[in-house]
C-alpha cells in the first residue's frame, strides 16, 4: 500500500518550509503539520516514524501502514486538497490500538481544520 510518488514529499527543503511556516498540532500519538500551497495539483504527504516512536522496524512499518490507511480513508473529506501534510509518530504510537491512533490523527486534522 505505497503512496504514488506524485503524492509524496521528496525534498528536504519542503520539510523545512512546512515545519517553519506551516501549522502543527501535537496529540498523544502523532504530530500533524500542514501548509497550504495553491501551486499543488493534489495532496502531498509524508510520514515520519523514527526509532523514538518504536525501536523495532516491524513496529515502525506497522505505524506507517496504519497512517497511510487513515489518509486513504479520510482524504476525500479534506476541505482543501492543495496542501502539504506531514505526520510524525510520537513515542507510544506503536503501543496504541488502531482505533486510538486513528482518533488521535483525526483529532489533530480537525484542529488544523483539514476536515470540516
* Residue extents of the structural domains in the chain: 5-111
Question: pLDDT value at position 2?
Answer: 64
* pLDDT average, residue stretch 63-72: 93
Class of domain 5-111: alpha beta
32 or 9: which leads in pLDDT: 32
Conformational region of residue 82, where left means phi above 0, alpha means psi within -120 to 50, and beta covers everything else: beta
Confidence of residue 4 (pLDDT cuts 50, 70, 90): confident
Spatial distance between the Cα atoms of 17 and 35, rounded to a whole number of angstroms: 8
Burial state string for 47-56 with b = 16 or more CB within 10 A and e = fewer than 16: bbbeeebbee
8 or 108: which leads in pLDDT: 108
Amino acid at each position: 500500500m505505497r503512496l504514488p510518488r506524485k503524492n509524496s514529499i521528496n525534498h528536504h527543503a519542503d520539510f523545512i518550509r512546512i515545519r517553519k511556516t506551516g501549522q502543527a498540532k501535537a496529540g498523544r500519538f502523532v504530530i500533524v503539520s500542514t501548509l497550504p500551497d495553491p501551486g499543488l495539483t493534489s495532496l502531498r504527504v509524508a510520514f515520519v516514524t523514527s526509532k523514538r516512536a518504536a525501536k523495532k522496524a516491524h513496529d515502525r512499518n506497522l505505524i506507517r501502514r496504519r497512517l497511510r490507511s487513515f489518509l486513504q480513508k479520510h482524504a476525500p473529506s479534506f476541505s482543501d486538497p492543495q496542501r502539504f501534510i506531514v505526520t510524525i509518530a510520537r513515542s507510544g504510537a506503536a503501543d496504541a490500538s488502531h482505533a486510538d491512533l486513528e482518533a488521535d490523527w483525526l483529532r489533530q486534522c480537525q484542529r488544523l481544520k483539514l476536515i470540516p
